[in-house]
């Protein structure tokens, strides 16, 4: 009867925590709000950044983060990084990626990509879920309680499929994703820019694999996104790849050997390149050193050379910035502040480019690696009600349309519309007795379907047979606060809901996600044990606290000496096993304590009832 006991003793279950997660291309972080503000939660070793790298070991274990990063070099065929680039995408979308990244796509990857790691295949959401699981564990270890709900950030320019894939990853990791929030918007929350009360702010976010620009209007705690733009395939990765290519060419001419297909060599070189790149943000020149199998390649890079090499990559961010300013309906002069987000904004050339474009010195006070996760934690606190004076109004980055005659797109919801947003359209049949109508929904700015991104096909089913053109079915397209499309349909004549079947063009079906959750449970056997132990400890905490409180109750002193002794004994027995990794043992001792305190609970209940009765003055 642990429940009864808890109620009697009034042990309060704390409000479940919601964490904020930045699921990045290169690194991921988890953060949480405490009394003084948002804080990044480090891993048990004290590291705030968890590298977004996942490895499937020969022993059949999933390894994530820093240990997986090491395996990139030792086990390149079983290890994957930058998987965010593949989220919500089809094989045809990622041909460019495949040329530059060592992704091993498994056979039969049509609408859903499958990556080969050793002898198993994993979808990008599954890979991401292992990273999320790691973050979840880090948070649970630090907070001492189970974490089930999260806010996860996505690039503002992510489309519907990419968002859905991120949500799927959360579910696979055992997290309820309460909200997907756009990375630049999250960053603006973390900066607390609303302190200036009113103003226009631009957020320039150049990460490992994605670029976003958002322009917001701040008004008394409301963060209203006016426009957003970006490129989901532009980031620090592109800089690394360029430097790797140059180094590989050098090495080939020096050593007479082409290493570009040697996974382990390329990964070693990649590390050297990244380190050199990072150093160049702080020093005017550096040596890039690459050692492989007893041979050594060295090259001196000046910052100037580096900047010449990457100038065009940085320039690619400027077009989206200008388009965003125009879409926001503001002039450069009206923008009060510029915020830099993402590790790549440490590069001095990036800072100069931003300063020149916006004619303002950008904010860099917060660590650009952490600011998104911190903002996600603020959004989590908004959702729990712990923060009430702030509200985020975001927009959909891409227009939503349906296919009409001749493969032309009819736009229903325009880009930069504040979300949630909706549109309705009435559909009918073309043939007598037609039972089904197929609606093809696309996302993008172009006029023709073939130039936009197919989102899904919605099939209106079981339409009552009628002459052509008579049925009137109103379909409502609603983009929710996560930027994800929901479709409902109503038969206008009967007012009844019309059944709609969704066939996503890319990504996982509901059944696939369910199947993966089952499958992941096998892999998560160890996790599961750990979780059980943690749950048992939470339960133990509750009963120990309740007993402690009860010891001050009058009823406690009415117990016999013997009974009190038994309670003390049971408490000590429970404390003895509290830190053991055996949840069954902990639960057994909880049960013992429960039994020992049964009489006490009854007495306290009686007292409570008596005083309640007295209070009512019958």
Residues with active-site annotation: 22, 84, 183, 205
480 belongs to the binding site for another protein (CB under 8 A): yes
CA–CA distance, 376 with 81 (Å, rounded to integer):
23
Phi, psi of 117 (to 5 degrees): -120, 105
Shortest Cβ 600–another protein spacing (Å): 34
Q: Which long-range contacts link 573-576 to residues 24+ away (Cβ below 8 Å)?
A: 574/540, 574/543, 574/544, 575/544
Given the complex with another protein, which of 350 and 395 has the nearer CB atom?
395
**Contacts (CB under 8 A) with another protein, residues 220-249:** 220, 222
Query: Is residue 35 within 8 Å of 572, Cβ to Cβ?
Result: no
Q: Using the rule CB under 8 A, which residue among 264, 418, 466, 592 binds another protein?
A: 418
Given the complex with another protein, which of 119 and 389 has the nearer CB atom?
389
Query: Is residue 495 within 8 Å of 480, Cβ to Cβ?
Result: no
**Contacts (CB under 8 A) with another protein, residues 165-224:** 178-179, 219-220, 222
Within 180-287, residue ranges assigned H as helices are 183-190, 236-255, 263-279
Q: Is the dihedral of CA 56, 58, 61, 63 positive or negative?
A: negative
Q: Using the rule CB under 8 A, which residue among 340, 421, 586, 603 binds another protein?
A: 421
Q: Using the rule CB under 8 A, which residue among 241, 364, 422, 505 binds another protein?
A: 422
Shortest Cβ 419–another protein spacing (Å): 7
b/e map of 357-395 (b: 16 or more CB within 10 Å)?
bbeeebbeebebbbbbbbbbbbbbbbbeeebeebebbbb
Tell which phi-psi region holds residue 152, choosing left (phi > 0), alpha (psi between -120 and 50) or beta: beta
Given the complex with another protein, which of 176 and 501 has the nearer CB atom?
176
423 belongs to the binding site for another protein (CB under 8 A): yes
37, 68, 60: which is closest to 134 by C-alpha?
68
Q: Which stretch binds another protein (CB under 8 A): 42-50, 66-74, 236-244, 479-487?
A: 479-487
419 belongs to the binding site for another protein (CB under 8 A): yes
Query: Is residue 208 within 8 Å of 83, Cβ to Cβ?
Result: no
Shortest Cβ 431–another protein spacing (Å): 25
Query: Is residue 34 within 8 Å of 28, Cβ to Cβ?
Result: no
Given the complex with another protein, which of 113 and 177 has the nearer CB atom?
177
393 belongs to the binding site for another protein (CB under 8 A): yes
Given the complex with another protein, which of 332 and 464 has the nearer CB atom?
332
**Contacts (CB under 8 A) with another protein, residues 373-392:** 379, 382-385, 391-392
Size of the site for another protein (CB under 8 A): 24
CA–CA distance, 522 with 444 (Å, rounded to integer):
39
Shortest Cβ 378–another protein spacing (Å): 11
Given the complex with another protein, which of 222 and 608 has the nearer CB atom?
222
Given the complex with another protein, which of 411 and 531 has the nearer CB atom?
411
Shortest Cβ 469–another protein spacing (Å): 18
Query: Is residue 513 within 8 Å of 520, Cβ to Cβ?
Result: no
CA–CA distance, 176 with 553 (Å, rounded to integer):
39
CA–CA distance, 610 with 618 (Å, rounded to integer):
12
Q: Using the rule CB under 8 A, which residue among 47, 105, 420, 434 binds another protein?
A: 420
Given the complex with another protein, which of 42 and 420 has the nearer CB atom?
420
Shortest Cβ 336–another protein spacing (Å): 18
Q: Is the dihedral of CA 462, 465, 469, 474 positive or negative?
A: negative
CA–CA distance, 448 with 405 (Å, rounded to integer):
11
Q: Which stretch binds another protein (CB under 8 A): 66-74, 136-144, 417-425, 528-536?
A: 417-425
Shortest Cβ 482–another protein spacing (Å): 9
Shortest Cβ 596–another protein spacing (Å): 36
Query: Is residue 133 within 8 Å of 527, Cβ to Cβ?
Result: yes
Q: Which stretch binds another protein (CB under 8 A): 193-201, 315-323, 338-346, 419-427?
A: 419-427
SS3 of 600, please? Answer: helix
Q: Which stretch binds another protein (CB under 8 A): 30-38, 204-212, 400-408, 473-481?
A: 473-481
478 belongs to the binding site for another protein (CB under 8 A): yes
Given the complex with another protein, which of 87 and 409 has the nearer CB atom?
409
Q: Which long-range contacts link 307-311 to residues 24+ away (Cβ below 8 Å)?
A: 307/348, 307/349, 309/242, 309/243, 309/246, 310/239, 310/242, 310/347, 310/349, 311/349
Query: Is residue 183 within 8 Å of 369, Cβ to Cβ?
Result: no
Query: Is residue 492 within 8 Å of 426, Cβ to Cβ?
Result: yes
Count of alpha carbons within 13 angstroms of residue 508, beta-carbon side: 25
417 belongs to the binding site for another protein (CB under 8 A): yes
Shortest Cβ 366–another protein spacing (Å): 23
Residues that bind another protein (CB under 8 A): 178-179, 219-220, 222, 379, 382-385, 391-393, 417-423, 478-481
């Amino acid at each position: 009867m642990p429940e009864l006991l808890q109620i009697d003793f009034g042990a309060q279950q704390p409000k479940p925590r919601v964490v904020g997660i930045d699921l990045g291309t290169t690194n991921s972080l988890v953060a949480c709000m405490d009394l003084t503000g948002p804080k990044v939660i480090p891993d048990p070793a004290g590291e705030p950044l968890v590298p977004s790298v996942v490895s499937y070991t020969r022993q059949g274990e999933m390894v994530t983060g820093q240990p997986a990063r090491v395996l990139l070099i030792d086990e390149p065929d079983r290890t994957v990084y930058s998987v965010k680039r593949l989220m919500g995408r089809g094989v045809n979308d990622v041909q460019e990626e495949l040329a530059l990244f060592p992704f091993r796509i498994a056979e039969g990857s049509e609408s859903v990509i499958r990556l080969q790691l050793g002898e198993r295949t994993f979808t990008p959401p599954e890979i991401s879920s292992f990273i999320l699981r790691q973050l979840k564990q880090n948070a649970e270890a630090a907070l001492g309680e189970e974490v089930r709900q999260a806010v996860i950030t996505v690039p503002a320019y992510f489309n519907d499929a990419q968002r859905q894939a991120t949500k799927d990853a959360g579910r696979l990791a055992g997290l309820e994703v309460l909200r997907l929030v756009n990375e630049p918007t999250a960053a603006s929350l973390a900066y607390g820019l609303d302190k200036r009360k009113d103003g226009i702010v631009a957020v320039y976010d150049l990460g490992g694999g994605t670029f976003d620009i958002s322009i917001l209007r701040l008004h008394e705690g409301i963060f209203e996104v006016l426009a957003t733009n970006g490129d989901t395939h532009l980031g620090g990765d592109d800089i690394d790849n360029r430097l790797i290519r140059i180094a590989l060419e050098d090495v080939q001419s020096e050593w007479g050997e082409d290493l570009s297909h040697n996974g382990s060599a390329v990964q070693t070189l990649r590390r050297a390149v990244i380190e050199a790149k990072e150093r160049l943000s702080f020093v005017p020149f550096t040596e890039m050193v690459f050692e492989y199998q007893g041979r050594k390649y060295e090259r001196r890079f000046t910052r100037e050379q580096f900047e010449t090499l990457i100038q065009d990559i940085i320039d690619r961010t400027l077009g989206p910035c200008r388009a965003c300013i125009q879409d926001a309906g503001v002039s450069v002069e009206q923008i009060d502040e510029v915020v830099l987000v993402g590790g790549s904004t440490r590069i001095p050339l990036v800072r100069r480019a931003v300063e020149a474009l916006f004619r303002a010195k950008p904010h860099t006070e917060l660590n650009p690696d952490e600011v998104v996760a911190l903002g996600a934690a603020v959004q989590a606190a908004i959702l729990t009600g712990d923060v009430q004076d702030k509200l985020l109004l975001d927009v959909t980055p891409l227009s939503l349309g349906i296919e009409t005659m001749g493969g032309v797109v009819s736009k229903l919801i325009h880009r930069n519309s504040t979300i949630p947003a909706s549109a309705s359209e009435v559909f009918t049949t073309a043939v007598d007795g037609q039972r089904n109508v197929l609606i093809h929904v696309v996302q993008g700015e172009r006029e023709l379907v073939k130039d936009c991104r197919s989102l899904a096909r919605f099939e209106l089913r079981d339409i009552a047979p009628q002459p052509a053109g008579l049925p009137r079915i109103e379909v409502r397209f609603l983009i929710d606060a996560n930027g994800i499309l929901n479709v409902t349909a109503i038969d206008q004549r009967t007012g009844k809901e019309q059944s709609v079947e969704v066939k996503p063009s890319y990504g996982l079906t509901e059944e696939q996600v369910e199947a993966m959750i089952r499958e992941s449970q096998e892999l998560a056997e160890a996790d599961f044990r750990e979780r059980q132990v943690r749950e048992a400890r939470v339960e133990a905490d509750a009963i120990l606290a309740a007993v402690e409180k009860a010891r001050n109750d009058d009823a406690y002193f009415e117990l016999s000496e013997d009974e009190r002794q038994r309670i003390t004994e049971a408490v000590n027995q429970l404390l003895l096993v509290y830190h053991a990794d055996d949840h069954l043992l902990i639960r057994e001792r909880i049960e013992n304590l429960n039994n020992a305190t049964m009489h006490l609970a009854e007495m306290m209940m009686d007292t409570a009832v008596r005083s309640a009765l007295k209070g009512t003055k019958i």
